[in-house]
């Protein structure tokens, strides 16, 4: 029997860990899955998706910079994808309609709650950034009922637009202030969803947002600390986590959506962390 074909589409894509993660899931579950990486030319995302499914492909993960296009292209969307305005998971239903889902938010929340034992309920949560990465996770974060959720962005108008979908639970503010007008309590959880590290920058947040009880989570991952996590450690943050667990958890949820089988994530996170 031939394996069912899956892939991740992005541009660039050569550094993607998704093929490795899904191969580990396939080996673990015994599912007949083959998973590759496809670099779509920037202007040819829709054609790439159509071709993939026309050739009998079963499912796609979508990454930067195509998540919003994947959402627009779909004939049908899951509720969580609808809210996110971006999709990282595509497949076809029995009628051959393209369905979009978004597993990023559940990936982040599962990594925080289940893997790291961090409760968001009732806490003060600060989210840095208001781009595609943050868009996908706000709904699932708010579903955890934080006491307060502040979205801070360099371009405030983008944060405003994003939280307008989620008011009054979420509020928007400027990155360099993070909602601080005077001395305020530090946040319980800070999630960095900016791409500042890609340019070797740090998002300019006031040091007062961090206390020894603060959990800091960078949605990016790196072999060592990300620049943001190194900074947060220097400020005395209680716990500092990177996005590797989120990456594996969102992949596991996509695998479950496609195959109906949920792989175990802990051994896969460990394997990636150590090799
Ligand atoms: P992604 O899909 O990875 O979220 P994006 O949509 O381009 O990418 O969004 C990048 C986010 O990182 C934005 O919130 C951006 O802030 P602006 O909206 O002001 O552009 C933020 N960002 C990128 N570089 C940054 C930097 N050097 N300092 C602070 N914020 C930065």
d(CA 113, CA 144): 10
* Cβ(86)–Cβ(68) below 8 Å: yes
User: What's the DSSP call for residue 26?
Assistant: H
* 16 assigned to a ligand binding site: yes
Residue 203 in contact with ligand 1 by CB distance below 6 A: yes
Protein residue whose Cα sits closest to atom 28 of ligand 1: 203
Question: Which residues are CB-neighbours of 164 under 8 A, at least 6 positions away?
Answer: none
The residue from 58, 67, 113, 262 that is catalytic is 67
* 132 assigned to a ligand binding site: yes
Residue 63 in contact with ligand 1 by CB distance below 6 A: no
What is the interface pTM, i.e. ipTM, of the complex? 0.96
* Cβ(32)–Cβ(3) below 8 Å: yes
239 backbone dihedrals φ, ψ, rounded to 5°: -145, 135
User: What's the DSSP call for residue 119?
Assistant: -
Domains of the chain: 4-102+245-274 (3.40.50.10860), 105-242 (3.40.50.720)
Q: Which atom of ligand 1 is nearest to the CA of 135?
A: 4
Residue 161 in contact with ligand 1 by CB distance below 6 A: no
pLDDT tens digits, the chain, 275 residues: what are they? 689 999 999 999 999 999 999 999 999 999 999 999 999 999 999 999 999 999 999 999 999 999 999 999 999 999 999 999 999 999 999 999 999 999 999 999 999 999 999 999 999 999 999 998 899 999 999 999 999 999 999 999 999 999 998 888 899 999 998 887 655 689 999 999 999 988 889 999 998 999 999 999 999 998 889 999 999 999 999 999 999 999 999 999 999 999 999 999 999 999 999 98
Q: Where are the beta strands (DSSP E) in the chain?
A: 4-10, 33-39, 59-62, 76-77, 89-92, 98-101, 124-128, 148-153, 170-174, 189-192, 215-218, 239-241
Q: Rounded to the nearest whole angstrom, what is the distance from the C-alpha of residue 250 to the centroid of ligand 1? A: 21
Residue 160 in contact with ligand 1 by CB distance below 6 A: no
SS3 159: helix
Q: Rounded to the nearest whole angstrom, what is the distance from the C-alpha of residue 130 to the centroid of ligand 1? A: 7
């Amino acid at each position: 029997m031939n394996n069912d074909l899956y892939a991740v589409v992005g541009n660039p894509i050569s550094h993607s860990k998704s093929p490795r993660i899904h191969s580990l899931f396939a080996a673990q579950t015994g599912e007949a899955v083959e998973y590759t990486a496809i670099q779509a030319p920037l202007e040819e995302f829709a054609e790439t998706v159509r071709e993939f499914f026309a050739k009998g492909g079963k499912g796609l993960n979508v990454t930067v910079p195509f998540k919003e296009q994947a959402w627009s292209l779909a004939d049908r969307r899951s509720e969580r994808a609808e809210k996110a305005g971006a999709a990282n998971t595509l497949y076809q239903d029995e009628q051959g309609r393209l369905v979009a889902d978004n597993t990023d938010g559940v990936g982040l929340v599962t990594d925080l709650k289940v893997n790291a034992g961090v409760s968001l309920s009732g806490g003060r949560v600060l989210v840095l950034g208001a781009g595609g990465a943050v868009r996908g996770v706000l709904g699932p974060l708010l579903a955890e009922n934080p006491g307060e959720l502040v979205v801070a962005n360099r371009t405030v108008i983008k944060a405003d637009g994003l939280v307008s979908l989620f008011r009054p639970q979420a509020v928007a503010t400027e990155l360099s202030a993070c909602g601080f007008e005077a001395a305020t309590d530090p946040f319980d959880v800070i999630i960095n969803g900016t791409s500042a590290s890609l340019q070797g920058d740090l998002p300019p947040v006031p040091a007062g947002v961090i206390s020894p009880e603060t959990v800091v989570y960078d949605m990016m991952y790196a072999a060592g600390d990300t620049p943001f996590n190194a900074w947060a450690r220097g400020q005395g943050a209680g716990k500092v986590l990177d996005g590797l667990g989120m990456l594996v958890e969102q992949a596991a949820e996509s695998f479950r959506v496609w195959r109906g089988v949920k792989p175990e994530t802990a051994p896969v996170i460990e394997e990636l962390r150590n090799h």
